[in-house]
Structure 1
Amino acid sequence: MESKAHSGVFHLLPLGLRVQNKLEALIDTHMQAIGASKTSLSSITTEALWRQSGRYSSNSELLRIKDRRDSGFLLSPTHEEEITALVASMVHSYKDLPLRLYQTGRKYRDERRPRGGLLRAKEFMMKDLYTFDSDSAAALETYEAVRAAYTAIFDALKVPYLVADADSGNMGGKLSHEYHFVSPKGEDTIWCCDSCNYVANEELATKRATNVDEEEDDSYPLVFRGISTDRSTEILIYVPASRSLSSEETPGWESISSYVNLHAVKRALPNDLHLDTGIEASTLSHLLSSATAPTQTISILDPSLSIAPDSSPPPSDPNPTPELTLTSPHPLTPLHPSDPCPICPKGSLDPKKSIEIAHSFHLATRYTHPLNACLSLPPASASPRAPRTPLQMTCHGIGLTRLIAALAALLHDAHGLNWPRALAPWEAVVLPSAGVAAADAEAVYDELAGGGVDVVLDDRPGKALGWKMRDAEGIGYGVVVVMGRGWAGGGREVEVQCRRLGVRRGVGVEGLGGEVGALLERL
């Protein structure tokens, strides 16, 4: 299906390209159903746009192009900046909206550790849809319309998937959903309730707060001292002490992840304050005690603490009394299997390894504001001199090559691949044995093709039937039609095989189309 060219770089071979083309066609059908228009944006972008949006970093996974003029070109890992700049140059009135633009194209990233074949590569194919609306309510309606289209796309594959509440990360925005296949080969972790439909990725997952005396020792809280990324604020994190700790033990910053859910801490902080989670313990200690130590302090409390922390700073802390104390709306302790669900009263949480295959973001004005993509409001809702308003934006991506690799990993067996009907390079293959006349093989092929089956005839000369059957198993056709002994003996009967459904039965030509069609309906 694909061939490795370099580390993290792959060539797609003819059968793999047929799979990709079928996935593109499936996506096109559902994108056009919601009024989206297909575009093709350049794979080259510029540092200037990424600096304008605030996402440029010299240490990021951006792949840079060195040209003779040192122009600052980049190979696009995604196209938010480019599409927003394009729309900013073309859309000036609410009458031009709503606007839904999508593309399928190559993306690039300087992946440090390419692995998993197409699951994590330096070059990959992605479908990304960008939508623009005049106000937040319309953007939310668009977001839900796209989510419905995504449901239809993934339902067509007939492979179980989960939709998880997600963190927006450096994409920005406050609303985000991920689509996952559960797989032991996955690099992501999602948390699922065993009693309700709660599903969240590990950055956003939380548990129901309980009283500290139900499960922990409430004689004292653990206090971790952190610092903001701008070094201006000391952050005190209070969590209940574990029963396994004695009161004399005081875990340091280097072990904080064992006692604190840092994602929950980040969500509990004010929007303009960011905890530095990648700092070394020795460096942190020096920063907190140096002449340029933080000038302000904020305390974040786990909601399960039944007692407030002492109003004085932790022992030996030279900093002043905290200026602000906040109680987190969510527990700050790490999640563990069987923790109580935050939504329902009876459910418990279970972590699952998974492969992320798609992601939706409600971006609001994250890109339209800095890139000046604005519009004039309707006269009824603004005065003639009202300022132009940034467009409301959402974006929705599906990793095509990643999805193909995930399906191959999920559905393969010891014999080979097992594609869903919607993506199989061909839905069925006809395999004639050496003694079958070419006209007979073509008649069976015509019977299936005339009934609407996407079928191929393997009439390669010099290949034995056994070799063709093994090759067909490796390729992963949905249905294999073998013209063997049942045909060669004059019975005009073929053997219909569907490895994924465990079917192997003899069928006469007159009933072949119905039999194959019924099997394909289940794939």
Structure 2
Amino acid sequence: MKYISKIFQPLIVSPRNVASKSHEISSNSQRLMVDLGIVRSTSSTGLFALLPLGVRSLDKLTAIVHAKLNSLDALQISLPTLVSEDLWIKSQRLQVAGPEVMRMKDRQDRRYILSPTHEESITDLIASVSPLSARQLPLRLYQIGNKYRDEMRPRYGIIRSREFLMKDMYTFDVDKNLSMKTYEAVNEAYEQIFSAIGIDYMKVEGCTGTIGGTISHEYHYPASIGEDQLLECSSCNHRVSQEQLLSLNEITEDNLSCSKCGDKNLKKTSGIEVGHTFLLGTKYSTALQAFTIGSTPLHMGCYGLGLSRLLGAALENLSTETELRWPTSIVPFTVCIIGPKNGSKEDKTATPLIEDLYSTLTKSLPVLHDDIIIDDRSHLTIGKRVLEARRFGYPYIVVVGQKACQEIPQYELLDLKAETSYLDKSELISKIHDLTKTLRTFPNQNYMDTYSVSSDVLTENSLK
């Protein structure tokens, strides 16, 4: 069983109507994640410690990614974080990399890069076992690990930090046509991943930038703090990043038109980039000599998902000013059970029902195994704990209170996107089953609906 009292979750409590001032807060999601103990700012600007609830959420997110990539027959690897500068010189990226690339020297004065991405490293690995036969292809390799970027102005918490968790994938094919089929298959898997997470996203034609290649697509969560401008044509619905459109047409922002049909009626949206795919061609395989039989350079693709950024962007997209809201697919705990206050008239009768309910739910609904938490802080009122559970964003809150002392116990179910209901045990299990039966297929959820809270729970006296 999981208990809130055992979770390391340091809270920052500010006086009412006073915003937190102990950190350089630049977004709503950053403020809530810091104040509610999901992440913690460190002594170094732009670096954050991910705390237990944040780790649980990222673990769920990575599980979705693993499942979808496994369906592509992709294989997981792990490449060194340190990359020799020599590889980047061979690929000619070091010359254009800019100051965001973190560099270091070892005691023998050899120069390295703290890798922001691994195109050179993976190509060098494949080159070491080249040439590959057609029977060994396509080859699809991915990893999940920390990446580094020397941001001049880190902001928005884990949305734009100097160290971040990323899934990067690299594919190798024998020719251009097969590489394009792989590119399409991976993009389809990306769309399934974003649909599984459950937040509306935008896929746009993107700019290849310093990574290079011939085709690129970006995946964004719309958000007011988004630094990328996304354009959608009202006539043909083609979507493109403003950066890419400007590079294609060599025009100004005041004279934009659709690159597909020429219409000038373009809808602009601010977005946070959380994924990017590239069809690379033979740029890296030629430079680093990764060949198929016949000394033909392999055709490559690379595919990134910013997992820690995605977590922050999801919370930025869904949360209210005062309460976290998670996609149901990656919420740290799906159900929170709250019992009576210690010493209350309900204590002796209702408290023993809590662990029995927990046991019944986990046995009846295997999907909730290790996904229920009990708020055992019985020195606090039910009302105060309900308010905190709402702030933390637990989708389903079960209160074992006064009505649980009836001859047939009634449990209060608070659904953050629906009406509060009172149910007996069998009805409660059936209801939670209906609410969570698609949890592993991750339906689209939107928690920005009107939230209702029981007047029985949030009375003035219960908050004292």
Q: TM-score range by the shorter chain?
A: 0.7 to 0.9
| 1:481 to partner: Cα distance | 1.2
Partner of 2:234: 194
Q: Are 2:46 and 1:2 aligned?
A: no
Q: Are 2:46 and 1:61 aligned?
A: no
In structure 2, distance between residues paired with 1:186 and 1:363: 26
Aligned pair partner of 1:161 in 167, 192, 201 = 201
Q: Are 2:332 and 1:419 aligned?
A: no
Partner of 1:48: 86
Partner of 2:114: 75
| 1:489 to partner: Cα distance | 4.3
- Could you say what the CA RMSD is over the residues aligned between the two structures, in angstroms? 1.9
In structure 2, distance between residues paired with 1:153 and 1:482: 33
Aligned pair partner of 1:334 in 220, 245, 253 = 253
**Secondary structure at 1:27 match in 2:** helix
Instruction: Structure 1 unaligned segments of length 5 or more: list them.
Output: 206-260, 266-331, 378-387
Q: Are 2:176 and 1:136 aligned?
A: yes
Kept after mapping to 2: 8 A contact 1:84/1:368 = yes
Kept after mapping to 1: 8 A contact 2:146/2:165 = yes
In structure 2, distance between residues paired with 1:172 and 1:81: 12
| 1:264 to partner: Cα distance | 2.5
Range moving further from structure 2, 170-179 or 66-75: 66-75
Cα distance change on mapping 1:197 and 1:449 into 2, 3 Å: farther
Partner of 2:277: 360
Instruction: Structure 2 unaligned segments of length 5 or more: list them.
Output: 1-37, 342-346, 446-464
Kept after mapping to 1: 8 A contact 2:340/2:378 = no
Which residue identity is paired with 1:510?
S
| 1:197 to partner: Cα distance | 2.7
Which residue identity is paired with 1:334?
E
Range moving further from structure 2, 107-116 or 60-69: 60-69
Kept after mapping to 2: 8 A contact 1:357/1:402 = yes
Range moving further from structure 2, 95-104 or 447-456: 447-456
**Secondary structure at 1:413 match in 2:** coil
Which residue identity is paired with 1:363?
L
| 1:68 to partner: Cα distance | 1.8
Which residue identity is paired with 2:361?
L
Q: Look at both structures and tell me which one has the larger radius of gyration over its CA atoms.
A: 1
Q: Are 2:430 and 1:514 aligned?
A: yes
| 1:341 to partner: Cα distance | 4.2
In structure 2, distance between residues paired with 1:125 and 1:353: 23
In structure 2, distance between residues paired with 1:437 and 1:98: 60
Range moving further from structure 2, 86-95 or 69-78: 86-95
Partner of 1:230: none
Kept after mapping to 1: 8 A contact 2:351/2:400 = no
Aligned pair partner of 1:19 in 48, 52, 57 = 57
Deviations 1:33-70 (A, max 9, x none): 10001111111111111111111148431111232221
| 1:461 to partner: Cα distance | 4.4
Range moving further from structure 2, 368-377 or 25-34: 368-377
Cα distance change on mapping 1:80 and 1:511 into 2, 3 Å: same
Kept after mapping to 2: 8 A contact 1:420/1:478 = no
Cα distance change on mapping 1:481 and 1:347 into 2, 3 Å: farther
Aligned pair partner of 2:210 in 170, 180, 199 = 170
Partner of 1:428: 335
| TM-score, scaled to structure 1 | 0.71
Kept after mapping to 2: 8 A contact 1:415/1:473 = no
Cα distance change on mapping 1:197 and 1:513 into 2, 3 Å: farther
In structure 2, distance between residues paired with 1:122 and 1:262: 27
Aligned pair partner of 1:472 in 389, 393, 410 = 389
Q: Identity over the aligned pairs, expressed in percent?
A: 36
Give the number of the structure whose residues are more often helix, by fraction.
2
| TM-score, scaled to structure 2 | 0.80
Q: How does 1:25-424 map to 2 (within 5 A)?
A: 25-57=63-95, 59-94=98-133, 95-205=135-245, 261=246, 264-265=249-250, 332-335=251-254, 341-343=258-260, 348-377=265-294, 388-424=295-331
Cα distance change on mapping 1:376 and 1:345 into 2, 3 Å: closer
In structure 2, distance between residues paired with 1:335 and 1:399: 31
Kept after mapping to 2: 8 A contact 1:448/1:512 = no
| 1:263 to partner: Cα distance | 5.4
**Secondary structure at 2:213 match in 1:** coil
In structure 1, distance between residues paired with 2:214 and 2:125: 24
Deviations 1:225-265 (A, max 9, x none): xxxxxxxxxxxxxxxxxxxxxxxxxxxxxxxxxxxx56523
Cα distance change on mapping 1:45 and 1:342 into 2, 3 Å: closer
Aligned length: 389
| 1:467 to partner: Cα distance | 2.9
Which residue identity is paired with 2:108?
R
Cα distance change on mapping 1:72 and 1:32 into 2, 3 Å: same
Cα distance change on mapping 1:158 and 1:88 into 2, 3 Å: same
